[in-house]
Structure 1
Amino acid sequence: MISINNLTKKKVSAVFLKGVAKIVLKGENTGKGKELSIVLIEAPAIKKLNQKYRKKNKPTDVLSFPAFVSKSGLRRTGKCEEDFLGEIVICPKEVKKNAKENKMAFKKELAFVLIHGILHLLGYSHEGLKKEAEIMDKKTEKYLFKINL
């Protein structure tokens, strides 16, 4: 089950978000019946979360909160034993700002950050190793292509 909780004034299609999430989860072979929470919040709220968890005193477009992290810190083992994967928090205002800066449609930027967030929940990282970042970038592009964006 993929739950969507929009706490903003911006209208965002829950059907679109769920569709993107399902494509990524299926593509990553997470198994059936996985649960994921997607929350849309305003800039001040995500700024507080970003400060608390990443020590960055500014708003960001997306944060991922995995429900489980293996001993190695990475999860990428194919099927997941846990039913609840975690929560992705997205700030539509920041997504819109980034879309404008990147000369990209809002919908594509939104899909990008959601894919990015899900990959983080599944243990992928772009921090530190260049190879890891390349893997994450390739997967993101693959899923954007699959959803025709």
Structure 2
Amino acid sequence: MNIDFIDEMNQVTDEELEWLKNLIEYAAEMEEVNQDAELSITFVNNSQIQEINRDYRQKDQPTDVISFAMQETGEDEIEIVGEELPEHLGDIIVSIEKARDQAQEYNHSYKRELGFLIVHGFLHLLGYDHQTVEEEKEMFERQKHILEEFGLKRDG
């Protein structure tokens, strides 16, 4: 997979980026995603993600993760296709501040929280959602399975 990491905060270490790359590649393998697929992951602060959340989701508050799937074609959008084009899954935006706060709030490691948010965002890019009870159950079970198989349990 081609993963473009953008660290607007300059707070994510090279070791964390390598670990996150391994996690995404593991999740992609479990979900049978094309190995040539691309995605971007951007790390921001609470005010930056609040602005994105307000502008795109009409929710004027910081959140932990937002995903923009490229495989969904909305109204008045043109689908770009071609054999030579790599599959672009979309963009994941994570608030580092929110991840740290939630790790403390949920009493587990920052690493576990960051992994949870990345997998959550990744599954959204693949079409998983949690608008209904059934969708939520499916998505959260899949998320938990990926994290546990990768070695990220809730207590760590």
TM-score by length of 1: 0.88
List structure 1 segments (4+ residues) > 4 angstroms apart after TM superposition: none
One-letter code aligned to 1:8: M
- The percent of aligned pairs where both chains have the same amino acid is 29
Match of 1:108 among 91, 107, 112: 112
One-letter code aligned to 2:46: A
After superposing the two structures, state which structure 1 stretch, 133-142 or 62-71, moved more: 62-71
One-letter code aligned to 2:128: Y
The superposition leaves residues 39-77 of structure 1 with CA deviations (integer Å, 9 ceiling, x where unpaired) of 101111110000111111111110001112168xxxxxx
Q: How far 1:11 moved relative to its partner?
A: 2.7
| 1:11 matches 2:12 | yes
Ranges in structure 2 where 5+ consecutive residues have no aligned partner: 75-84
Q: How far 1:82 moved relative to its partner?
A: 6.0
SS in 2 for 1:135: helix
Match of 2:144 among 116, 119, 141: 141
Match of 1:44 among 43, 47, 55: 47
| 1:68 matches 2:71 | yes
Which residue is 1:76 aligned to? none
Distance 1:9 1:35 in 2: 22
Distance 2:94 2:58 in 1: 18
The superposition leaves residues 1-42 of structure 1 with CA deviations (integer Å, 9 ceiling, x where unpaired) of 011111104234110111111111111111220101001011
Distance 2:54 2:18 in 1: 30
| 1:27 matches 2:30 | yes
One-letter code aligned to 2:142: K
Match of 2:62 among 51, 59, 64: 59
Ranges in structure 1 where 5+ consecutive residues have no aligned partner: 72-80
One-letter code aligned to 1:87: D
Distance 1:63 1:103 in 2: 23
SS in 2 for 1:37: strand
One-letter code aligned to 1:43: N
**Number of paired residues?**
139
| 1:122 matches 2:126 | yes
Distance 2:5 2:86 in 1: 19
Q: Which has the larger radius of gyration?
A: 2
Q: How far 1:147 moved relative to its partner?
A: 1.6
